[in-house]
Amino acid sequence: MLNMTNLNLSIPTEGAAKLDLIIDLGQSGLVTPEFYWSSAQTTDGSEQELMLHEALSKIEEGLILKVNGRRQMLALTDLNLEAISLDAIINPLTPQMARISYELQSVKLSTEDIVELQLASSIDVPWPCLVRVDAFANLPASRLLTEETRSSGAILLGLPGQREESDFLLALTLQFQSASPALSWLAVGFQHVVPDGADHIAFILGLFFLSSRLTTLIGQVTLFTVAHSITLTAAIFGWVSAPSHLIEILIAASIIYVAVDNLYEEQSQRWRALAVLGFGLLHGLGFASALGSLELPQDTTLSALLFFNLGVEVGQLAVLVMAFACVGWFRQQPFYKRRIADPASVTIAGVGLYWFTKRLAIYLF
């Protein structure tokens, strides 16, 4: 439901009625994600319309607005393309919603008119499609379209709309609609850990294999979370900065350190918290570098950053849950450190060494 389609019909007391189609074009089948990304990178509105001419023509043909049973002509007035990155467009968990705006210019609507919105079988959209009609300051009417039910049915403009809150699916869809932008950034943050953040996953697993004591793990993960949240926020707002290639090399080094440190648990406990704090600050700069390649919304930067960071934490928690599911049963066994934790730490150190060598070689040569 994250990338569901929206049809919003607004009918003011004065002026022309406006119909907004909010659709994830990259997931609609009307254009490829690559083509949508290319179109979104074009800043000229006329050129965007020209590039998307075929898709817009299909939408104009399949988007039907009837007034008193007669289809009305819609005039395209605006085209707004949202795009964080090509990877986000390809992934349905991070919807990139395009807003296509039309005006109804041929008829003046009144409170006695009946409207109906339909999506013809000739076009497909990410389902479901939420229809909302705001008319003459009345309460809005909401209808839910599906691939099988493509019509809103008749809606009398003169009566206050009914949202049909008793319909559980509609109520749930409305909640998803209001939370959609926030959930998008939460999903982006999650993906920067699972599956894209292999080095971050390795570091978290390094913390997991440190000790069989759950309180120690919780304390260190909490410290790591606070630290990388601080530098992520500071870097996004331009308060701190560092070369991304240097950060990537140091992150690999931090993985080696934590993994090797696990082998000498008793000797390293005094400095472990300080090391986790420092590496957390380092990983936060790494997240900021990755987030810098995306386009944060200027009007809701703080909100997007908050949910991105929350998504990172959810991804981090998912890694720990998977680790517990695999070997958590053995954490209290006497053979756990020798047969499970130490071999796993050696493996993590080897992976970290490979990344460190590769990244250093790329930087030097």
The token duo for 288 is 């900021």
The answer to whether 17 and 9 have CB atoms below 8 angstroms apart is yes
pLDDT digits (tens, 9 = 90+) for 231-264: 988 888 888 888 888 899 999 999 999 898 888 7
Q: Among all chains, which residue has been given the structure tokens 């950034």?
A: 185
Average pLDDT, the chain: 83
Q: Is residue 126 located within the same domain as residue 73? A: yes
Q: Is residue 219 located within the same domain as residue 279? A: yes
Q: Is residue 167 located within the same domain as residue 268? A: no
- Checking if the pLDDT of 215 tops 60, the result is yes
Question: How many CB atoms are located within 10 Å of the residue 107 CB?
Answer: 14
- DSSP state, 337? I
Number of domains in the chain: 2
Chain centroid offset of residue 220 CA: 27
How does residue 332 score in pLDDT terms, banded at 50, 70 and 90? confident
At residue 163, the pLDDT reads 44
Max mean pLDDT among 58-67, 235-244, 308-317 falls in: 58-67
At residue 221, the pLDDT reads 85
| Residue range 6-32: mean pLDDT, rounded | 90
Q: 132 in a domain, yes or no? A: yes
The answer to whether 48 and 34 have CB atoms below 8 angstroms apart is no
Q: 266 in a domain, yes or no? A: yes
Q: 9 in a domain, yes or no? A: yes
At residue 165, the pLDDT reads 42
Using the 3D structure, point to which of 157, 179, 201 is the last residue of a domain.
179
- Checking if the pLDDT of 1 tops 70, the result is no
| Residue range 77-95: mean pLDDT, rounded | 85
Q: 186 in a domain, yes or no? A: no
**pTM, whole model, 2 decimals?**
0.62
Classify 126 as helix, strand or coil: coil
Q: Is residue 227 located within the same domain as residue 120? A: no
The answer to whether 76 and 56 have CB atoms below 8 angstroms apart is yes
pLDDT digits (tens, 9 = 90+) for 110-150: 888 889 999 999 888 988 888 988 887 667 888 888 888 89
Classify 34 as helix, strand or coil: helix
Q: Is residue 209 located within the same domain as residue 354? A: yes
Using the 3D structure, point to which of 125, 155, 179 is the last residue of a domain.
179
Give the domain range for residue 217: 192-364
- DSSP state, 216? H
- Checking if the pLDDT of 327 tops 60, the result is yes
pLDDT digits (tens, 9 = 90+) for 263-283: 876 655 667 788 889 999 999
- Checking if the pLDDT of 343 tops 80, the result is yes
Using the 3D structure, point to which of 179, 210, 232 is the last residue of a domain.
179
Cα R_g (the chain), whole angstroms:
26
Q: Is residue 14 located within the same domain as residue 147? A: yes
Alpha-carbon span 344 to 340, nearest angstrom: 6
Q: Which of 163-177, 201-215, 243-257, 350-364 has the lowest mean pLDDT?
A: 163-177
